[in-house]
Structure 1
Amino acid sequence: MGTLCLQVVEDGNLKGLLQIFIGLLLVGILVLGGCVAPNDDEELNEKASTEQVEKETSEEKAPKEDSSISEKEDTAENTPAAIVKKPASTVKPAPAKKTETSGTTAQVPVKLVKTIDGDTIKVLYNGQEINVRYLLIDTPETNHPRLGKQPFGEEAKERNRQLVNSGALTLEFDIGERIDKYDRLLAYVYVDGKSVQKTLLAEGLARVAYVYPPNTRHLTPFEEAQKAAKKKGLGIWSIEDYATDSGFDSDVVPAKNSGKTTTTSNAPNSTVSKPASTPSTNVASSQEWFQNCTELRKKYPSGVPEGHAAYQAKMDRDKDGYACEK
C-alpha cells in the first residue's frame, strides 16, 4: 500500500491519491461499524435479558394479595346465603316467665297434680310441677321420718284432698319469700275463691304456725278461725294439750282399749275444754274416743248421733248432728 501511495505521489497523481485515501477511510469505517454493532446488540440483548430476569424475580417475590382477595370476594359473591357460616350466637335463652303478683292479692290459676298431706300439695305452675306449702298453718303428719303418723294427720290430708279437688284451684303469694329452703312455693291456696287454709283451721284440722313476717297478710282471719275451732273443741283441739305452739305432742294421746279411753285428765272429748274450776263430773268415764270413722264404725257401723258418748264434731263433716253415718 505504501509503495502504491509513493508511486502515486511520485507520479504526481494527486487525484488518485485522494481517491485511495477516501477508499481507505470508508473501509475503516465499515470495519469499525461491523465490530461495534455486534457488541452493541449483545449488550442490548444482555440488558434486556437481565431486566426480564429481574422482573420475573420481582413478580415471584411480590405477595399475591390482590389475587387472594379477588378469589375471596368472588367466592363470597358466588356462595348461597343459606350455606354461609355465621358465628355461633352467644345470646342466652330468656328465663321462664315469672308470675309477678308480689304485693297484690291477685290469684294465679294452677292445676292440681296430687295431695301430699294436710298442708302441702303438688301443682303444675308455669309449666313445671312444684310442691306448694300452705302459708301460716300446720297440720299433723301422716308419714314423718321422725314423728311418724300423728293423730288427725290422715283426717287433715283427706279433708285437704276433698277441698282442692272440689273446684278451680288458685294460689296467692304474699310480699315476702316465695320459695322455702325445700324449694316449695309458699302460698295461700283457694278453691273457687274460698281459702283452704281458713277452712282447715275452722274445722280443727290445722293450727296457726310458721308465722314469718312479712308473709302475714291473712294472719288475723286465720287466728280467728283457729280460736273458734278451739272453743268448740274440734279436731286437734279435742285432745287436751295435743296442739301446742311448737307442734303436736302425740305423747298426750291416751292409749285405747277397744275404742275406750282411760279416765285420766287427758281423756279427749268433743266438748269445749273447761277451766280448772269446772266440776270434774263433766269429764265422764262413759266418753269414748276414736281415731277416725273407720275405727268408730267397727263398734257403731251406722255412726252415732250428737250427744252419744262416741260422737265427735270432727267426724260430723256435714254438720247434720250425726257422725260417721254411711
Structure 2
Amino acid sequence: MKQTLQLTVWLIVTLFLLSACGTVSSNQSADSSHATTTSGTTDKVEVSLIRIVDGDTIKVNYNGQEETVRYLLIDTPETKAPNKCVQPYGKNASKRNEELVENGKLELEFDVGQRKDKYGRLLAYVYADGQSVQETLLKEGLARVAYVYPPNTRYLDSYEDAEASAIDAHKAVWQQDGYATDKGFTGCSLEKNDDVSSDVETEQSDESATNFANCTALRETYPEGVPSTHPAYQQKFDRDKDNYACE
C-alpha cells in the first residue's frame, strides 16, 4: 500500500513538471515569434515643412532643428543635382510633392535601420494628412522604387505594387520604354535650356557677378542662397548636399 502511494505521488509530480516545462517552452516560442515580427516601430512623429528640395527630398523642422529628409525606397527624376540636367517629369514630381506635403499634417515614420544617410539626411516614410507621399508618387508614375537597403524595407511590397500599377497604365515616367531603369532615369528634358536660361537672365539682370569667395559674399546678392541650377552655385558652398547653396 505504501509503495502504491509513493508511486502515485511520483507520477503526479512527474506530470506536473512535464506540464510546467511545456508551458515555458510554449511561452518562449511565442515570445521568439513575437520578436521576429514586431521589430521596429510604426509610430509617426509630426514635423513642420520648411520647403521642398525636389520630388523626393524636403526640409523640415524636426525636434527644433532644420533637417533634410530623403524619402525611403523611391527615386524621382532630377531637377537640381549638380552637373546633371533637368530630367523629364522632374519638375512634375517636385510640384506634386509640394502639393502633397503642404496638404495638412506632415509626419515622418522611421524604419528599423539607420535613420540618416552618408550626407546626414534623415531617411523616412513621409505622410501628409495620413496619406503616404511615397506611395502616391509611385502610383502616379512620378517615381520609381529604388535605393533598397535592408532592413529599411517595411513598405517595399506595397510600393512595388504601386509602381507596377503605374507601369501597367504607362503613366508619366513609364510612358517611354527605357527612360526609367534600375540605375535611374535617362535623358534630359527638351525644355531644360529654355527654362534655365530664362531664370538665369532674370537673376543676372540685377547682378552680373556669379563667382563669390564665400557664402557671406553670396548672400549679399542672394540672401536666400541659390539652387544648383543657378550660375552662382558652387558645390563647396552646399555643405548639407541638398543642391541648394548658402541657404
Tell me which structure has the larger Cα radius of gyration: 1
| Aligned with residue 201 of structure 1, among 135, 138, 146 | 138
* Residue number in structure 1 paired with 2:96: 159
Per-residue CA deviation, residues 289-319 of structure 1 (Å, 9 max, x unaligned), is xxxxxxxxxxxxxxxxxxxxxxxxxxxxxxx
| SS at 1:223 equivalent | helix
Please, what TM-score do these two structures have when normalized by structure 2? 0.60
**How far apart are 1:132 and its partner, in Å?**
0.1
Q: 1-side partners of 2:129 and 2:72: how far apart?
A: 18
One-letter code of the match for 2:72?
L
One-letter code of the match for 1:219?
L
Structure 1 gaps, min length 5: 1-101, 257-326
Paired positions, count:
153
Alignment of 1:277-296 (within 5 A): none
* Residue number in structure 2 paired with 1:174: 111
Q: Are residue 120 (structure 1) and residue 57 (structure 2) matched?
A: yes
* Residue number in structure 2 paired with 1:246: 183
* Residue number in structure 1 paired with 2:80: 143
**How far apart are 1:240 and its partner, in Å?**
1.5
* Residue number in structure 2 paired with 1:8: none
One-letter code of the match for 1:223?
E
| SS at 2:40 equivalent | coil
One-letter code of the match for 2:52?
T
**How far apart are 1:146 and its partner, in Å?**
2.3
Per-residue CA deviation, residues 110-132 of structure 1 (Å, 9 max, x unaligned), is 00000100000000001100100
**How far apart are 1:148 and its partner, in Å?**
1.7
* Residue number in structure 2 paired with 1:34: none
Structure 2 gaps, min length 5: 1-38, 192-247
Please, what TM-score do these two structures have when normalized by structure 1? 0.46
Per-residue CA deviation, residues 81-103 of structure 1 (Å, 9 max, x unaligned), is xxxxxxxxxxxxxxxxxxxxx81
**How far apart are 1:143 and its partner, in Å?**
1.9
**How far apart are 1:193 and its partner, in Å?**
1.1
| SS at 1:250 equivalent | coil
One-letter code of the match for 1:204?
G
| SS at 1:124 equivalent | strand
Which structure would you say has the larger RCO, counting Cα contacts within 8 Å and 6 or more residues apart?
2
Alignment of 1:176-195 (within 5 A): 176-195=113-132
Alignment of 1:231-270 (within 5 A): 231-250=168-187
* Residue number in structure 2 paired with 1:220: 157
